[in-house]
């Protein structure tokens, strides 16, 4: 329960970011027992059970389950820890995307702390809901304690393709650590484009933030390059804002 409360506190800190994501990129947090659009006989809980087969309503509005299906880590076979033995899931984030010029649905489940890793365990799942709903792929995208869709949750890389942006983070009293994963879908399988790690500080003397921003350059086939700019901003106490930027280009 302490871990859940910690994640709730982190979520509160990120609410402005999440609200902006809902407006700009259609990330939503539907009730799991509500039907998915176009399928009155299928709920988001049905989709979640394709990842966590025994997930069921529990106490205090949470959903309880045990281990999810076997999956790889987005960074590779030697990365990530084991999933928690028990799961208390408050909700899931939902983001519709385009992949291969097809409509796809992604769901992000933050399952909690890994028993054998300092990182959490977070499942990014890909669904085809254009006919009978089916799970196409699932990967662990956690690279830190708590994982979310970033703002924005997706970036267009072609007329019919979106790249997905997730973030994992943890905070101590003065510092914040964030790992941002840029992920594409190829042949209905998740594939990592790049990982960017940033660092924030907040002291009495100054506040420093590092915020990555992604922009598709367009005009290329089959996929457009993505320009990644990390804005480094420091605000000294009693002084003026000092900014710097590190730029890169992701093929």
Domain ranges of the chain: 2-204
Per-10-residue mean pLDDT of the chain, 251 residues long, equals 44 40 65 94 97 94 94 91 92 96 97 89 97 97 95 92 96 90 97 95 90 87 90 79 60 50
Residue 238, pLDDT score: 60
CA angle 19, 28, 98 (to 5 degrees): 115
Residue 4, pLDDT score: 44
Q: Could you give phi then psi for residue 156, rounded to 5 degrees? A: -70, 130
Dihedral, 82, 110, 97, 194 alpha carbons, nearest 10: -60
Q: What is the radius of gyration, based on Cα positions, of the chain?
A: 18
Residue 105, pLDDT score: 98
Q: Could you give phi then psi for residue 13, rounded to 5 degrees? A: -65, -30
Residues 207, 235 contacting (CB under 8 angstroms): yes
What is d(CA 121, CA 69) in angstroms, rounded to the nearest whole number?
12
What is d(CA 57, CA 87) in angstroms, rounded to the nearest whole number?
11
User: Which contacts qualify for 157-161: CB closer than 8 Å, 24 or more apart?
Assistant: 157/184, 157/216, 157/223, 157/224, 157/226, 158/221, 158/222, 158/223, 158/224, 159/101, 160/98, 160/99, 160/100, 160/101, 160/102, 161/98, 161/99, 161/100, 161/101, 161/185, 161/223
What is d(CA 98, CA 162) in angstroms, rounded to the nearest whole number?
5
Which residues on adjacent β-strands are paired with residue 213?
A: 229
pTM of full prediction above 0.95: no
Residues 178, 198 contacting (CB under 8 angstroms): yes
Dihedral sign for Cα 107, 108, 110, 114, please: positive
């Amino acid at each position: 329960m302490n871990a859940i409360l910690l994640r709730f506190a982190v979520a509160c800190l990120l609410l402005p970011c999440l609200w902006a994501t809902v407006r700009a990129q259609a990330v939503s947090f539907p009730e799991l027992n509500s039907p998915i659009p176009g399928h009155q006989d299928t709920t988001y809980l049905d989709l979640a059970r394709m990842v966590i087969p025994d997930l069921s309503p529990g106490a205090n509005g949470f959903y309880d389950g045990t281990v999810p299906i076997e999956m790889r880590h987005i960074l590779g076979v030697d990365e990530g820890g084991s999933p928690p033995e028990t799961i208390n899931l408050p909700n899931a984030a939902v983001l519709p995307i385009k992949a291969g010029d097809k409509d796809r649905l992604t769901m992000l489940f933050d399952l909690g702390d890994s028993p054998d890793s300092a990182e959490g365990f977070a499942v990014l799942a890909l669904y085809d809901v254009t006919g009978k709903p089916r799970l196409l792929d699932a990967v662990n995208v956690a690279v830190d304690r708590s994982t979310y869709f970033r703002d924005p949750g997706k970036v267009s890389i072609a007329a019919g393709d979106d790249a997905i942006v997730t973030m994992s983070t943890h905070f101590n009293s003065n510092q914040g650590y964030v790992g941002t994963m840029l992920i594409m879908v190829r042949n209905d399988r998740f594939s990592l484009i790049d990982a960017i790690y940033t660092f924030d500080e907040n002291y009495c003397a100054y506040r420093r933030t590092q915020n990555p921003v992604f922009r598709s350059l367009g005009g290329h086939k089959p996929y457009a390059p993505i320009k990644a700019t990390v804005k480094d901003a420091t605000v000294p106490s009693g002084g003026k804002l000092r900014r710097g930027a590190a730029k890169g280009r992701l093929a």
